[in-house]
Amino acid sequence: MQPTDIGNPQYFHKVVDCQWACPAHTQVPRYIRMIAAGRFDDAYLLNWDSNVFPGILGRTCDRPCEPACRRGRVEENNGEKPEPVAICRLKRVAADNRSVDIEKRMRERLPEPVPGAERFRIACVGGGPSSLTVARDLAPLGYRVTIFETDAKGGGFMRTQVPRFRLPEAVINEEVGYILGLGVEFVGNHKIDSMKSLLAENFDAVFVGCGAPRGRNLHVPGRDEAATWIHLGIEWLASVYFEHVKKVGRRVLVLGGGNTAMDCCRSARRLGGEEVKVIVRSGYEEMKASPWEKEDAEHEGVEILNWLNPKSFVHEDGKLTGMWFTPMRAEVDANGRRKLVPNGEPDRLIECDEVLIAVGQENAFPWIERDLGMAFDEWGMPVLDKLTMQSSLPGVFFGGDAAFGPKNIIWAVEHGHQAAVSIHNLLQHEDVRKRPPPLTNLVSQKMGIHEWSYDNEISPDERYVVPWAPKEKTLTNIHQEVELGFDVQTAWKEAQRCLNCDVQTVFTKDICIECDACVDACPTDCITFTSNGEEMELRTRLTAPAQNTGQDLYVSEPLKTARVMVKDEDVCLHCGLCAERCPTGAWDMRQFLFVDSCAGHDEGSATVATRKKTPA
Amino acid sequence: MPPKAPDCVTTRWHEMTYLPKPRLHHPSLQRNAAGFIRRDYEGAVSTLCAGCGHDSISAAIIQACWELDIEPHRVAKISGIGCSSKTPTYFLSASHGFNAVHGRMPSVLTGANLANRELLYLGVSGDGDSASIGIGQFVHSIRRGVDMVYIVENNGVYGLTKGQFSATADQGSKSKKGAINTDAPVDMVGMALQLGASFVASSFSGDKAQLVPLLKAAMTHKGAAFLDVISPCVTFNNHEGSTKSYDYVREHNHALCRMDFISSHAEITVDYAPGEVREVHQHDGSVLRLRKLPEGHDSGDRVGAMNYLHACQARGEIVTGLLYVDPDAADLHAHLDTTPVAFNTLGEGELCPGAATLEAINADLR
């Protein structure tokens, strides 16, 4: 193998599994250390800088970081339940404990405006997370941003579809408020129904972040006849939010296996639904809903029934009485495609009073005229540059669910960041595809022979459970938040579970004396000194076999004995024992900083300077 | 269900300024026939200097014991005084241990062995403990054929007293401060051969591929097994001019042969041409397979081994590997015709047979 180029920032970035997996590349271990140190404002602002909605995401994020977390791999065979660090809920701790004058501190760290930016006007269609991110990134640079929103208040899906028992309205108000407070013009109760007219207003750039607002319907017999008792999930959730719907039938069926279905069934439990069942066509494991959402629903007495395909609605005198389902199984066809087919068992009747359909969402752009020259694909989706989020009309950009269909909040934020970079480039006459380089740094954490500036003791604790409000309270009041968040003491203990994967093991081959001390000291057998070879072959003859090929091998240049040092990054605990037991300092623990690129973030720019103001 | 790891290995040392090795381990670690993973054979975190060769020897002992499916409570690790003699704390924390007075490990070990012949005895010593203050003890335990593994962690200096030359330092080698050693070295390997050790090997802490099989062979050998392991002192003896530094040993290492250890329950396959390998069958059924033996060398030839050793030393080479083994050797218990079981399994009647028995013995001697 070739020696590893640790000068390439992506090498160490990939070692920080959580940050690498996060669409916005939030510096997770760094903010977890800040939380452990009680620096909640710094932790909040680090998040705010990267993911814009720490309080909201600390409750609702899809948390791609957690399945990626190294802790979930190294606890395997070591504990009853290998669990990642509760990254998402730690983020909430930063939000819950931030100081009241956070907005002032936020402003102190904003980048300097770009001279002349105030000449440019940018329109954002929709007031959801992607539009708000564009506004948050561009307004401080001096651009004049206007957000048009159909509803009275900003927040989009986060406000109208995510139920209040998961996300209190005050949290949305605060975090949307921070952005609007940056000098962003918010035009509420204003539905954009023509792109042509919007373009005629001579905005310098338009960002479309209007979500995927149309719930997919289910056309099976009886749908129209019993329509009064059948609702589209996302519309019904919005009606619950606006309090147009205040109760639901005693027996409720929710069709679909995604997170919207989970929000529907849990809302139904709070509005009078006593027997609430979620019916899913496929199996339990392959449901799109996050595992914890399923657990939460089941905890509240919701029953999840799998492998049932809706066949028809049953109604008597115009009143819904039940639904017929066909039992299904999965089959792989001749082309290797998996499809669902009836398993031959008799159809099943499930009685109910009301049905919520949550089988997916669709994008809809009836308001974008097709004669504007904007290209759409065969599914009616805009043709976009995936890097820049730019449409075929150079001044029009898309993001969030409007771009590539329903995803989640953190992806919407990342789309917003990238679109903001593109819009800034466009208006500054730069190449729109240009991405500013990430801000990186690599600094030794050594303070003494056995002393590091990070807490390198590995906590043996298992994941802490977030306390819940009692069920009697949460099921009777739809506004009662279920999760109460970690208290500071528990948060500290949970934070100690973080392995600090951003503190990298850096090897200097010229001073290595090949004494094997690191090999003997490593608790997870990551280090080997051996003759070089092809990667797949080398992986088989390390101290412990490196079977996870998704994780890199760190290979040194040849040493004095002509061998190479090979470190399997997979299960490294970043405990620093290799460096503590190294007699020559050939191993060192260095904190790797990786700040993802953002609008106006050019080397030497004011933005970089202000970002450096945040202490480590 | 495999047995749970002993609780004592989870001991935490919060009072230390440095951290114990975390219990989290590589997910692929396997349990051996005794039900343990390799990590269960570890001890407390080492307080030796970072990079000390002794720590590598401890790691090799851990590996060997895991591979041999040894139950930790069937091991007694006995040491004297010195850096090397501290190391039993850093491995096999679930085993019996005894830190003897300086140089007195061999007699304590001999006594323990006579009282309970059923344990595996690891005598861990150093060049100071065994070649200076304890040389008499070393000599007599070897010539008596005590059933043990006598390991000398040999670094040529007194590490605990700031790096003076020890008795094994080579003539002409240079100290860290620049002094030249004028005394001739004690050659412990040569002495062990001469004194009748039935297993004699030499190795290097930086070569676990060689050291682990040698340790396994020594642990399964019945009789006095002597193992001299060159173990560089990173703090006082790892400089230019030292003959026990990592670099010097690597440059002058003359590996006599490669040895594979094949345990008694492993299937023995032959994939070498005749004459290329020599197999030594031990009493417990294990096989030592010696490869790439030098022309005319016989691992069962004590005189040949001594000649070979001295010839290499004259050329300035450090011989490592298995020099001599007698798989049919008899140990001290056989010499003395002792009772075949451990004393702690005997009843009071057998241990104190009474006045009549004493009378009979005395009458015999009249």
Contact B47, A549 (CB under 8 A): no
Position A32 scores a pLDDT of: 98
Domain hosting residue B198, numbered range: 38-336
B9 in any annotated domain: no
Residue A259's CB is within 10 A of a number of other CB atoms, namely: 22
CB-based contact A220:A185 (threshold 8 Å): no
Q: What is the pLDDT of residues A552-590, one digit of tens each?
A: 999 999 999 999 999 999 999 999 999 999 999 999 999
d(CA A252, CA A254): 7
Q: Per-residue pLDDT averaged across A2-21, rounded?
A: 96
For residue B12, being part of any structural domain is answered with: no
Are residues B107 and B333 in contact, defined by beta-carbon separation less than 8 angstroms? Answer: no
Q: Mind telling me how many Å the CA of A496 is from chain B's nearest CA?
A: 13
User: Which of B19, B50, B246 faces A457 most closely, judged by CB atoms?
Assistant: B19
Would you say B133 and B103 are in contact if contact means Cβ atoms under 8 Å apart? yes
User: Which amino acid, residue A310?
Assistant: P
Distance between CA atoms of A485 and A483, rounded to whole angstroms? 6
Across the interface, whether the CB atoms of B51 and A523 are under 8 A apart is answered no
In angstroms, rounded to a whole number, what is the distance separating the alpha carbons of residues B182 and A125? 89
How do A230-232 and A354-357 pair as beta strands?
Answer: parallel
Q: Is the pLDDT of residue A367 over 60?
A: yes
> Between residues 240 and 279 of chain B, which touch chain A (CB distance below 8 Å)?
246-247, 250
Q: Which of B14, B16, B18 to mutate to test the interface with A (most CBs of A within 10 A)?
A: B18
To the nearest whole angstrom, how far is the Cα of B21 from the nearest Cα of chain A?
6
Q: CA B235, CA B161: separation in Å to the nearest integer?
A: 12
In whole angstroms, give the CA distance from residue A363 to residue A213. Answer: 6
- Structure-block tokens of residue B342: 């451990």
> Does the distance separating the beta carbons of A523 and B39 come in below 8 Å?
yes
Q: Which one, of A117, A5, A6, A98, lies nearest residue A43 by Cα?
A: A98
Using one digit for the tens of pLDDT, what is the confidence trace for B141-170?
A: 999 999 999 999 999 999 999 999 999 999
pLDDT tens digits, one per residue of A394-423:
999 999 999 998 899 999 999 999 999 999
Contact B270, B264 (CB under 8 A): no
Within an 8 Å CB–CB cutoff, is residue B26 touching chain A?
A: yes
Residue A242 has pLDDT above 50, yes or no: yes
Measure CB to CB from residue A456 to each of B19, B39, B50 and give the nearest one: B19
Closest CA to A312 of A350, A282, A362: A350
Say if A189 is an interface residue toward chain B (CB within 8 Å): no
Report the residue of chain B nearest A545, measured CA to CA.
B28
Give the Cα separation of A126 and A132 in Å (integer): 9
Q: Does residue B132 belong to any structural domain of this protein? A: yes
Element housing A262 (H / E): helix A259-270
Query: From the list B25, B50, B246, which residue is nearest A514 (CB)?
Result: B246
B126 found inside a domain: yes
**Pair B244, B230: CB distance under 8 Å:** yes
Per-residue DSSP letter, A509: G
User: Would you say how long chain A is, in residues?
Assistant: 616
Which residue is closest to A525 within chain B, CA to CA?
B26
Amino acid at A162: V
Contact A327, A345 (CB under 8 A): yes
Residue B317 has pLDDT above 70, yes or no: yes
- Partners of A287 in the β-ladder: none
Q: Is residue B364 part of a domain?
A: no
Query: Looking at CA atoms only, how far is residue B240 from chain A in angstroms?
Result: 13
Report the C-alpha gap between A482 and A168 in whole angstroms: 10
The C-alpha of B146 sits at a distance from chain A's nearest C-alpha, in angstroms, of 31
Q: Test A583 with B208 for CB contact under 8 angstroms.
A: no
Task: Indicate whether B1 pLDDT > 70.
Answer: no
pLDDT confidence of residue A362 = 84
Instruction: Find residues 67-126 of chain A whose CB sits inside 8 Å of chain B.
Output: 73-78
**B278 vs B160, residue with greater confidence:** B160
Mean pLDDT of chain A: 93
Q: Which two tokens stand for residue A144?
A: 């004049």
Pairing of the two strands A564-568 and A527-530: antiparallel
Distances (CA, A) of B40 to A81, A274, B31, B70, B277: 21, 53, 10, 11, 35
Q: Which chain A residue is nearest to residue B17, measuring alpha carbons?
A: A450
Residue B10 belongs to some domain of the structure: no
Domain containing residue B148: CATH number: 3.40.50.970
Q: Are B225 and B148 in contact (CB under 8 A)?
A: yes
Token pair of B314, please? 């004259």
Neighbours of A373 (CB within 10 A): 9
Q: Cβ contact (<8 Å) for B56 and A76? A: no
Q: Which of A457, A511, A520 to substitute to test the interface with B, most B CBs within 10 Å?
A: A520
Q: State residue A79's pLDDT score.
A: 60
Assigned token pair, B206: 């930086």
Please state, in angstroms and rounded to a whole number, the distance separating the CA atoms of residues A204 and A197.
Answer: 14
> Within its chain, how far is the Cα of A154 from the centroid?
20
Q: How far apart (Å, rounded) are the C-alpha atoms in residues B287 and B294?
A: 20
Judged by a CB distance cut-off of 8 A, whether residue B24 touches chain A is yes
Q: How far apart are alpha carbons A76 and A73 in whole angstroms?
A: 5
The C-alpha atoms of residue A397 and residue A145 are separated, in whole angstroms, by 14
Residues of B in contact with A500 (CB under 8 A): none
What ipTM goes with this model? 0.88
Nearest to B157 by CA among B184, B128, B186, B132: B128
- Rounded Cα gap, residues A220 and A341, in angstroms: 17
CA separation for the pair A427, A119 (Å, rounded): 10
Instruction: State the burial class of residue B297 (Cβ atoms within 10 Å of its Cβ: 0-12, 13-18, 19+).
Output: middle
Q: Each residue of B71-125: pLDDT tens digit? A: 999 999 999 999 999 999 999 999 999 999 999 999 999 999 999 999 999 999 9
Note whether residue B22 is domain-resident. Answer: no
Residues A546-564: b if buried by 16+ CB within 10 A, e if exposed: beeeebbbbbbeebeeeeb
Q: Helix or strand or coil: residue B190? A: helix
* Of residues A411, A260, B279, the one with CA closest to residue A399: A411
Domain count across chain B: 1
